[in-house]
């Protein structure tokens, strides 16, 4: 359901965040932008194509960043979003809880999985702005369908366009990095994420005030949301068009520079015999060579080698499995609330606002945690996952809506605490391009897993479970993850103490930094472990 993931815009701003895909997001991957957006630690020091480009015109890029942050704030204001599930289940729309749970909501996951990879590629190829316009159009269509739609097929189309909106989040997450030099990446990432979080909080509070104090109908609140997203679409059309992107356009610029250099050093023999110099190389040889030596292919080969790193493997698996459970809970929790309250009292907006604030606070606190993550990562993840499993059991069994609300707020807060840590642990040793690919692959694998779970337990073509039964399944899912993490933690801690010298300290496994600081890169040419060189 659309409303179910309202606070996601600000979370991992996942996937939170994250990622996102292009650039990781520290919060969230929900329908609005839980993924929002964390910056790769290595990005902050990656050399740029022209280090002085932004310094020559500081006012120009500053206003571009301000305008983009304003766009992120306004596009996040949809006061009707936390109340979409109550709207569909109310007499105004009159859908049954079984239809919303087993026929409408699952379409979101299927749509997101189908659109995710094309959106990732088109974002880079088209340089962000067209994808943001597509996202704006999709949001307008969503609220138009909510206002005018009356049957099941139309609501399923509404969820389909919601999947497009979620997949297009990557354009906003990575857009801002095309406007400034790499040394400013970490700062502008904070600006961008803060603007979205503030927009989500403002949207949730505004929606709750309209329902509780203004006694506004769900239909009217949806019309107000349509006005805000229409304004956001107009802002997207006025965004500046970036001159570069991460993969495709950067490679084109690099090829042009190489051609220019080759032309400048043309030999006398070539000048005397220009016809010979114009003879093209064999097409098959050229295409095969270009394909094998392309930056994107080399990055994909490098990702295969990165899997061997234990720390990277652990946090990537956490990103895939825990974010899957997290977003499934967010997708269906509003249906659970509706069943517990029987649609009598609705405080969805206030709860989403409170959970957004707690998520922002825990994400901020995570940056100050200092422990030896190479030793204690599995244990910390296991403890937090165990607490989340307990909260899910509480949500699925309690008949008190306030207990359910508090459990949901804490559940989101614990997840958001680990998101920035996972982001840094994954990204600290990667280049910007590898960082984008790793987070993109993690997000895609998580989406596939969500789709499989949805198809088996939620969809009417599967078991078609009711919402309480689904939360019991989520509890079992998190319990299995907890057992796995504790088992791995026991092995890691045992090996650490076994290898530790008697005099104290450790001869291996150097401590990894816990702060979200940048990891320096040595040169513009990043040597991959497969002995290929990819220009960053």
Which CATH number fits the domain that encloses residue 215? Answer: 1.20.1250.20
State how far the Cα of 10 lies from the Cα of 229, in Å rounded to an integer: 17
For residue 530, tell me if it sits in a domain. Answer: no
Residue 85 sits in the same domain as residue 213: yes
Its domain, for residue 148, covers 61-253
Q: Report the distance separating Cα 423 and Cα 459, nearest Å.
A: 32
Do 327 and 461 reside in the same domain of the chain?
yes
Residue 118 lies in a domain: yes
Cα–Cα nearest to 70, from 196, 174, 181, 186: 196
Could you list the beta-strand ranges (E) of 465-530. 525-527
Q: Give the pair of three-digit tokens for residue 218.
A: 């769900």
Quick check: is 524 in a domain? no
DSSP letter at 525 equals E
- Using alpha carbons, select from 307, 500, 350, 318 the residue that is nearest to residue 423: 318
Same domain, 324 and 424: yes
In this structure, the dihedral spanned by the alpha carbons of residues 406, 357, 19 and 248, taken in order and rounded to 10 degrees, is 160
Look-up: residue for tokens 């996952």? 385
Question: Is residue 247 located within the same domain as residue 313?
Answer: no
Do residues 244 and 339 share a domain? no
User: Collapsing DSSP states into helix, strand and coil, what is residue 458?
Assistant: helix
Cα angle, residue 186 at apex, residues 133 and 249 outer, rounded to 5°? 45
**DSSP, res 11:** S
Contact predicate 474/325, CB 8 Å: yes
Quick check: is 187 in a domain?
A: yes
Identify the pLDDT of residue 395: 93
Residue among 252, 249, 316 at smallest CA distance from 15:
316
pLDDT recorded at residue 191: 81
Count how many domains the chain has: 2
Q: Show pLDDT as tens, one digit a residue, over the chain (536 residues).
A: 544 444 444 444 444 444 443 443 333 334 444 544 343 444 433 434 444 444 445 557 788 888 888 998 999 999 999 999 999 998 889 899 999 999 999 999 999 999 988 888 888 788 888 999 999 999 999 999 999 988 999 999 999 999 999 988 888 877 877 777 777 776 777 788 888 888 999 999 999 999 988 888 999 999 999 999 999 999 999 888 777 666 665 544 444 544 444 444 444 434 444 444 444 455 444 454 555 555 556 666 766 777 778 888 899 999 999 999 999 999 999 999 988 886 667 899 999 999 998 988 888 888 777 888 888 889 999 999 999 999 999 999 988 899 999 999 999 999 989 988 888 888 776 766 677 778 888 889 999 999 999 999 998 888 989 999 999 999 999 999 999 999 999 998 888 888 877 654 444 444 444 444 433 333 334 434 443 444 33
- Name beta bridge partners: 526: 534
Is residue 402 in a domain? yes
Q: Which one-letter DSSP state was computed for residue 505?
A: S
| pLDDT of amino acid 155 | 94
Q: Within a domain: residue 301?
A: no
Cα distance between residue 320 and residue 484, in whole Å: 14
Residue 482 belongs to some domain of the structure: yes
H helices of 238-372, where?
248-264, 268-272, 274-277, 283-293, 295-306, 310-341, 348-366
**Model pTM score:** 0.77
Residue 533: how many CA atoms within 13 Å on its side-chain side? 4
In a domain, 535, yes or no: no
C-alpha pair distances (Å), 56 with each of 48, 52, 62, 270: 14, 6, 12, 39
């Amino acid at each position: 359901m659309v409303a179910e993931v309202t606070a996601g815009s600000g979370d991992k701003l996942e996937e939170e965040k994250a990622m996102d895909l292009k650039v990781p997001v520290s919060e969230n991957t929900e329908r609005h932008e839980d993924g929002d957006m964390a910056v790769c630690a290595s990005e902050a020091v990656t050399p740029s194509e022209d280090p002085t480009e932004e310094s020559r015109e500081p006012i120009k890029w500053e206003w571009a960043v301000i305008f983009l942050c304003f766009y992120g704030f306004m596009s996040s204001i949809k006061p009707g979003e936390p109340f979409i599930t109550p709207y569909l289940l109310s007499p105004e729309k009159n859908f049954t809880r079984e239809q919303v749970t087993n026929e409408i909501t699952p379409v979101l996951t299927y749509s997101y999985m189908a659109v995710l990879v094309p959106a990732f590629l088109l974002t880079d190829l088209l340089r962000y702005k067209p994808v943001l316009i597509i996202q704006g159009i999709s949001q307008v269509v969503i609220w138009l369908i909510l206002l005018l739609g009356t049957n099941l097929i139309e609501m399923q189309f509404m969820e389909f366009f919601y999947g497009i909106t979620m997949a297009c989040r990557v354009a906003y997450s990575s857009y801002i990095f095309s406007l400034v030099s790499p040394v400013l990446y970490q700062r502008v990432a904070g600006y961008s994420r803060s603007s979205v979080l503030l927009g989500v909080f403002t949207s949730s509070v505004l929606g709750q005030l309209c329902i509780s104090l203004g006694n506004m109908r769900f239909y009217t609140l949806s019309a107000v949301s349509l006005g805000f997203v229409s304004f956001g679409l107009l802002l997207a059309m006025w965004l500046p068009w970036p001159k570069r992107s991460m993969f495709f356009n950067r490679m084109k610029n690099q090829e042009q520079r190489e051609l220019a250099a080759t032309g400048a050093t043309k030999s006398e023999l070539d000048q005397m015999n220009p016809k010979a110099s114009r003879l093209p190389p064999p097409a098959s040889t050229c295409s095969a060579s270009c394909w094998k030596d392309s930056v994107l292919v080399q990055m994909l080969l490098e990702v295969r080698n990165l899997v061997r790193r234990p720390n990277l493997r652990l946090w990537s698996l956490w990103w895939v499995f825990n974010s899957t459970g997290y977003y499934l809970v967010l997708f269906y929790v509003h249906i659970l609330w509706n069943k517990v309250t029987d649609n009598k009292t609705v405080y969805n907006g206030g709860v989403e606002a409170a959970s957004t604030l707690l998520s922002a606070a825990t994400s901020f606190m995570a940056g100050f945690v200092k422990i030896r993550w190479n030793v204690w990562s599995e244990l910390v993840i296991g403890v937090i996952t165990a607490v989340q499993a307990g909260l899910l059991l509480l949500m699925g069994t309690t008949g008190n809506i306030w207990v359910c609300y508090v459990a949901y707020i804490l559940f989101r807060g614990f997840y958001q605490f680990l998101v920035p840590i996972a982001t840094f642990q994954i990204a600290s040793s990667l280049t910007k391009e590898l960082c984008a690919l790793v987070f993109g692959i993690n997000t895609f694998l998580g989406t596939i897993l969500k789709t499989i779970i949805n198809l088996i337990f939620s969809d009417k073509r599967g078991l078609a479970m009711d919402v309480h039964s689904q939360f019991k399944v989520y509890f079992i899912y998190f319990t299995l993850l907890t057992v796995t993490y504790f088992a791995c933690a026991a092995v890691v801690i045992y090996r650490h103490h076994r290898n530790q010298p008697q005099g104290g300290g450790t001869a291996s496994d150097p401590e990894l930094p816990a702060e979200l600081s940048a990891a320096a890169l040595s040169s513009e040419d990043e040597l991959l472990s497969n002995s290929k060189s990819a220009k960053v």
